[in-house]
Amino acid sequence: SGNLEFKSVDFSYNDGEVILKNFNLEIKAGEKVALVGPSGAGKSTICSLLPRFYDVSRGKITIDGVDVKGITQNSLRKNIGIVQQDVYLFHGSIGDNIGLGKIDATENEIERAASMANALEFINELPDGMNTLVGERGVKLSGGQKQRISIARIFLKNPKILILDEATSALDNQTEKYIQDSLAKLSEGRTTLTIAHRLTTIKNSDNIIYLDKDGIQEEGTHEELIGKKGK
Ligand code: ADP
Ligand code: ADP
């Protein structure tokens, strides 16, 4: 499961400017789709409609055939994992921050999720390991470390759908590599919608959607799109 469909979707924010007009997109369960195109094209808007941060003005979005309007916020949250540039951690221990992904997670499950996210190494180097407090009264973590904690949380949550926003922050090469590795692992077997900036993501996607303000301009595999341009 994890089939997604946007059917004849129109969308405007409150100011009324039309952002999406008759937008159609089908993503099969487990498929990896990259959204590419200029800033302002509507890529993050598309991603925010799926977890219902906003509702469509017309048309519908379905998950496994069910209109998202009929799915509870709780259930949507369980089924969709979101990786964004900005990570907000609450003032608690690292373990509790990861544990947010699943109620009643065991210590072993939390450790395993941290390991999958390539986070265990830096966590074990901290004075109190998993029990280290983060936030104002605790340690200050780097952007990359926070990102890995948020990825660990998603491993634990184990959603069938992923939204990845690659808006590239200034990460050092080693951190970038760690994060790319864990994101590749995370997206295995999950339906993945990525706002793609990295060439590797674009190359490894099953379908690449190029859109601008006028909607989808091109769609296909990397080979198909490159082949076309070569002609
Ligand atoms: P992209 O992700 O491709 O850069 P966005 O989805 O962020 O594109 O933006 C598409 C359009 O929607 C832009 O014109 C942007 O200014 C507008 N927009 C984005 N978010 C909001 C918002 N919260 N309220 C009003 N307009 C918005
Ligand atoms: P979780 O409960 O796993 O943290 P959420 O669904 O609450 O996941 O949020 C996932 C991400 O989406 C968070 O990084 C949050 O900042 C972002 N987010 C939440 N609500 C909105 C919104 N209305 N618009 C844009 N982004 C949002």
**Ligand 1: centre distance to CA 120 (Å):** 36
The closest of 185, 213, 221, 180 to 197, measured between CA atoms, is: 180
ipTM of the complex: 0.87
Give CA 72 to chain center in angstroms.
Answer: 19
**Would the CB of 53 count as within 6 Å of ligand 2?**
yes
The predicted model scores a pTM of 0.92
Give the C-alpha separation, 158 to 7, whole Å.
26
- Residue of minimum CA distance from atom 25 in ligand 1: 13
Q: Where residue 177 falls among pLDDT bands split at 50, 70, 90?
A: confident
Residues 104-118 pLDDT 10s: 999 999 999 999 999
Higher pLDDT, 126 or 231: 126
Both tokens assigned to 135: 């936030």
CA of 46 relative to ligand 1 center, distance in Å: 10
The Cα–Cα gap between 101 and 139 comes to 21
Q: What is the pLDDT of residue 231?
A: 47
pLDDT of 51 above 50: yes
Residues 6+ apart with CB under 8 A from 134: 89, 91, 92, 93, 94, 97, 140, 141, 149
| Residue 78 in contact with ligand 2 by CB distance below 6 A | no
Distance 153 CA to ligand 2 centre (A): 13
Query: Residue 23 class from Cβ within 10 Å (0-12 exposed, 13-18 middle, 19+ buried)?
Result: buried
Q: Is 44 exposed, middle or buried (0-12, 13-18, 19+ CB in 10 A)?
A: middle
